[in-house]
Amino acid sequence: MSEFNERLILPDIAGLHTIEVYEQHNGYQALRKALAMKPEEVTDEVKKSNLRGRGGACFPTGLKWTFMPKQSAKPKYLCANGDESEPGTFKDRQIFEQNPHLFIEGAVIAAYAMGIETVYVYIRGEYAKWVKMLQKAVDDAYAKNYIGKNVLGSPFSVNLYLYKGAGAYICGEESALMNSLEGNRGYPRVKPPFPAQNGLWGCPTTINNIETIANVPVILNRGWEWFSKIGAPKQPGTLLYGISGHVNKPGVYELPTGVLLSDLIHRYAGGVPGNKKIKAVIPGGSSTMWLRGEELDGVRMDADSLKAAGSSIGTAGVIVMDEDTDVLKVLARITHFYHHESCGQCTPCREGCGWMEKILNRFVAGDGTMADVDLLLDVANNVEGNTICALGDAAAWPIQSFIRKFRDEFEKRARTTPRSPSYIPPPHLVTTGA
């Protein structure tokens, strides 16, 4: 499995972001192939490939597409999710930058498969520069009739529009994304009804991550059988692993699913600066459960292996912390993030995240007691599973795992660090806003 070393999503081809170079490298051939197939055959191909969503929940993509009604009196929509705001995640941006046409081709194929005539691409507002890059690629694709009326002379017509967010992590959650696209505050919706029945403007809607969609042309070009044999069998293909924190060569690495976490850190990302030991790793973006440095042996980067290790693959955004890291402070910062980004609709999330942040800050300030740890866990357990969307869980998971695995950190802090009278809150405690 580790033999596979081809890059499918971000191949090393100069100028691939331009339509000319993309076409020279087999670009838009998958679309031609798809248009010659029946829509349900395209969906079937994706289903058999076993492609799983890259947006964090690992949901089987082909299956998701079959939830869309075949006949619908109302229009159907595809939303491509480029909100990319989970800390530690910076991969979709690479697709916009290096291979935007692969994504566009995938989106058009997906639309064809589900009988969709309008695709919206939701991109976080901070990515203004990347929105422009993608817009250029979209314009070029329109000019060549890969998007638009009667795509390549077929009866199929589709439009694709970019929508810029304005700074809100929660808009990456699919129902919040739809509310935002409708011009509202980004409040997640209660499910059911699910988007395939009742999505954008009450119409059938599918939401897929940018990287997920970029895999579609690859599957069409090379066939489901070939694709399904790459990497971990239950979650095949390559992943865009983002690795950050204390490594010598942080960045995005495209490798098969199921690589050894330790290989990712040492072989690809060049190990830890100063050859220091690893204290902790967050394997799949800031919401995933923490692993201790001693637990990394044999852990592979796929859904099953990480589940067995007590975490999850999430967005494959690996965050590495060396032995000198003040991990409590890191946890406090992450919790601040979830508190800041809570939309405020559900009490457990809105209040709970605030309480958890306060308790952690108390520890950072050297003012925590071991009773606070029990309180913290109690709050986290009561947030998890009791909210409209998974942001509450995302805030609780890091804390629950930290308490399980790093109780010693609390003990050290509670005993030995008295609160200094000249204590100055770290920057993230200062009220900001412009």
Partner 1 sequence: MFTKENLDKLEVLKKQYPTMKSLTLPALWMAQEQFGWISPDTMKYVGELLELPVSHIYGVVTFYTMFNTRPVGTHHLQVCTNVSCQLRGAERLAGHICDRLHIKMGETTPDKRYTVTEVECLGSCGTAPMMQVGDEYYENLTLDRVDALLSKELK
Tell me if 392 contacts ligand SF4 by CB under 6 A. Answer: yes
Cβ proximity of 200 and 79 under 8 Å: yes
Query: Cα-Cα-Cα-Cα dihedral of 133, 135, 138, 144, to 10°?
Result: -90
Among 350, 354, 366, 417, binds ligand SF4 (CB under 6 A): 350
392's contact among ligand FMN, partner 1, ligand SF4, none, with CB below 5 to 8 A by partner kind, is ligand SF4
**Full DSSP string of 197-260:** TS-GGGS-EEEEEHHHHHHHHHHHHH-HHHHHTSSSTTS-SEEEEEEEES-SS-EEEEEETT-B
Tell me how far apart the alpha carbons of residues 349 and 385 are, in angstroms, rounded to a whole number: 10
Q: Residue with the closest Cβ to ligand SF4?
A: 349
Q: Which of 60, 251, 293, 366 binds partner 1 (CB under 8 A)?
A: 251
Q: CB nearer to ligand FMN: give 142 or 163.
A: 163
Indicate the SS3 state at residue 367: coil
Name which of ligand SF4, partner 1, ligand FMN, none residue 88 binds, using a CB cut-off of 5 to 8 Å depending on partner kind: partner 1
CA distance 296 to 199: 40
Q: Is 16 helix (H, G, I), strand (E, B) or coil?
A: coil
* Short-list 320, 230, 279, 253, CA closest to 90: 253
User: What, of ligand FMN, partner 1, ligand SF4, none, does residue 34 touch, CB below 5 to 8 Å by kind?
Assistant: none
User: In the window 125-154, what residues touch ligand SF4 (CB under 6 A)?
Assistant: none
Nearer to ligand SF4, 214 or 389 (CB): 389
Q: Of 34, 289, 391, 396, which one interacts with ligand SF4 (CB under 6 A)?
A: 391
| Ranges within 340-369 binding partner 1 (CB under 8 A) | 340-341, 343
Question: How many other C-beta atoms can be found within 10 angstroms of the C-beta atom of residue 128?
Answer: 10
Nearer to partner 1 by C-beta: 164 or 229?
Answer: 164
Q: Which residues bind ligand FMN (CB under 6 A)?
A: 53-57, 59, 64, 81, 83-86, 170, 172-174, 207-209, 212, 389-391, 394
- Spatial contact of 353 and 395, defined as CB atoms under 8 Å apart: yes
Q: Site residues (CB under 6 A) for ligand SF4?
A: 170, 188, 342-346, 349-350, 387-389, 391-392
